Amino acid sequence: MKAYQLTAWQQPPEFRDVEVPEPGPGQVLVKVGGAGACHSDLHLMEWPEGTFAWDLPFTLGHENAGWVEVLGAGVKGVEVGEAVAVYGPWGCGRCRACRLSRENFCERAAELRALGGGLGLNGGLAEYLLVPAARLLVPLGDLDPVDAAPLSDAALTPYHAVKRNLHKLAPGTAVVVIGVGGLGHMAVQLLRALSGARVVAVDIDDRRLEHARELGAELVVNSRDGADAAERIRAFTGARRAAFVLDCVGAQPTLDLAVQIVGRNSQLTVVGVGGGVIQLGQLTLPFGCSVCTPLWGTRAELQEVIALAQNGRIHVDAHYFGIAEGPRVLQELREGKIMGRAVLVPDLD
Ligand code: NAD
Ligand code: ZN
Ligand code: ZN
């Protein structure tokens, strides 16, 4: 089968012919339905060698869903043909964090030399994906894997960020989502579904702000020219300012904006890997403001995200392409031309 692989750091990925893997004991072969193109794919291609201790080559694609194709010896509780989302952060499965389903915070991450499929190990930009353990598969029920793939990252990551802070989001508080792309368009919906907070969306692209408004944002602010974005948001929030800012960009201008709009005892969560830095110390932030840079979400949370999608409370606005179109899709993602999420679908090749 053809696989879209990263073969050298700071070089474009390449299509390579690889063997369809055979699942060993405990492993599961998944036929890929869809693999989302995440902005992290662009970051990781730009990283210099040594940023992470990952071996090359590996197949890209860390946001995957599909159908169980072959069960390795001893695998129980999953059926061949079943539709599944693939939980992305593949931990050791045995440390306390992993046993609590928090494989995104596996205590032995440094030993594993990979974060998961598409991030150091072979991912979903191929016809088949080898998943190392059945516990990493979450049943999709009636959801189509082609549509559901982005739930495993674009939705799970903001879900985790929001859920751990729900106690701060009382009705009447204001929350600000910065960057309404793949993650951000899910974040707006998740905040609407889970909290009574009023949602503000910030982006530099008016089309995405229109999208955010359709998804339930009450105020949308274009921060392209910088100057008055903070003022407009503060006029909306009043002196209390934002209870929660979720920065899905993480660049210097967005972090600078975030610091100006968070309130006392608030939460500033940065999921975007844009390279910006926040000065942290007394008097640099409002009193009681917590800052967090989470990674992805837990296995149990992926199940919860899937339940929200099954119940129609959230949906992915996706655009579908064949895997052969991968290079063009990544280029369009880089240029900011992809609205919502692009999903690469082997069956469209
Ligand atoms: P995306 O390209 O789909 O969306 C990015 C959005 O940010 C776009 O709407 C773009 O217009 C907007 N934007 C860009 N620069 C901006 C600026 N200066 N001010 C305001 N808006 C701006 O990207 P995505 O796939 O949603 O990923 C978002 C970020 O989250 C990336 O950095 C990605 O690496 C990161 N990420 C982190 C995790 C995690 O676990 N921490 C998981 C997935 C993705
Ligand atoms: Zn991602
Ligand atoms: Zn672990």
- 300, two tokens: 């149990």
The CA distance from 111 to 88, in Å, is 17
Domain boundary among 292, 312, 332: 292
Q: Ligand 1, closest atom to CA 42? A: 34
Probe ligand 1: pick from 38, 47, 220, max atoms within 8 Å of CB? 38
Asked if 186 and 73 sit in the same domain, the reply is: no
- Token match 């968070």: residue? 262
Pairing assessment for the beta strands 262-270 and 219-222 based on DSSP bridges: unpaired
Q: Is the peptide bond before 57 cis (omega within 30 degrees of 0)?
A: yes
Residue 161 has pLDDT above 80, yes or no: yes
Residue nearest to atom 4 of ligand 1 (CA): 181
Domain boundary among 269, 292, 315: 292
Give me the CATH number covering residue 142: 3.90.180.10
CA of 255, nearest ligand number = 1
Residue 225's pLDDT is: 79
User: What's the whole-number mean pLDDT along residues 199-228?
Assistant: 95
Asked if 252 and 320 sit in the same domain, the reply is: no
Query: 234 alpha carbon to ligand 2 midpoint, in Å?
Result: 31
Domain that holds residue 288: 157-292
Give me the CATH number covering residue 172: 3.40.50.720
The pTM assigned to this predicted structure is 0.98
Residue 227 has pLDDT above 80, yes or no: no
Asked if 326 and 240 sit in the same domain, the reply is: no
Q: Ligand 1, closest atom to CA 185? A: 26
Domain boundary among 268, 292, 316: 292
Query: 16 alpha carbon to ligand 1 midpoint, in Å?
Result: 28
CA of 341, nearest ligand number = 1
Burial 271-280 (b: 16+ CB within 10 A, else e): bbbbebebee
Banded model confidence at residue 215, pLDDT cuts 50, 70, 90: very high
User: What's the whole-number mean pLDDT along residues 115-128?
Assistant: 98
| Predicted confidence (pLDDT) per residue in 49-91, tens digit | 999 999 999 999 999 999 999 999 999 999 999 999 999 999 9
Tell me how many domains the chain contains: 2
Which phi and psi angles does 290 have, rounded to 5°?
-100, 145
Residue nearest to atom 36 of ligand 1 (CA): 272
Asked if 12 and 141 sit in the same domain, the reply is: yes
CA of 298, nearest ligand number = 1
